[in-house]
Amino acid sequence: GAVVSQHPSRVICKSGTSVKIECRSLDFQATTMFWYRQFPKKSLMLMATSNEGSKATYEQGVEKDKFLINHASLTLSTLTVTSAHPEDSSFYICSARYPGGDTEAFFGQGTRLTVV
């Protein structure tokens, strides 16, 4: 199946700093990528839909200025957590689907963010 690579897998940062997470589709072009956040023992929560060449579409309640998403190419989307706080500590996962929308979602490995 298709491969989506997410980096880094784990990151620890100090409160107030910014962290960038990369999501790459390695063997297909993803015009759309999705960013999820997952709290312990909870399901995936869609944060935003990243569209190549245009602004991301954020879900209600997600701060656009805090979670910056850039989808500059057909194979790369980035999520930057700005001015991170301990409550931003979570598991962040990206996913992408083949164009068409009705196929399985391929997931990155996820990033465990810990803000201290």
Partner 1 sequence: GQNIDQPTEMTATEGAIVQINCTYQTSGFNGLFWYQQHAGEAPTFLSYNVLDGLEEKGRFSSFLSRSKGYSYLLLKELQMKDSASYLCAVVDSNYQLIWGAGTKLIIKP
Residue 91 to residue 93: CA distance in whole angstroms: 7
**Rounded alpha-carbon distances, angstroms, from residue 103 to 16, 18, 53, 113:** 39, 33, 22, 29
| Nearest distance, CB of residue 37 and partner 1, angstroms | 12
- Considering the complex, what minimum distance in angstroms separates the CB of residue 16 from partner 1? 26
Nearer to partner 1 by Cβ, of 62 and 82: the residue is: 62
Q: Looking at beta carbons only, is 38 or 82 nearer to partner 1? A: 38
Interatomic CA distance for residues 100 and 18, integer angstroms = 34
Which CB atom, from 9 or from 17, has the smaller least distance to partner 1?
A: 9
Q: Which amino acid is at 71?
A: H
| Residue 107 Cβ vs partner 1, minimum distance, rounded to whole Å | 4
Q: What amino acid is encoded at 44 in this protein?
A: L
The residues that touch partner 1, with contacts defined as CB under 8 A, are 1, 6, 34, 41-46, 49, 91, 93, 101-110, 112
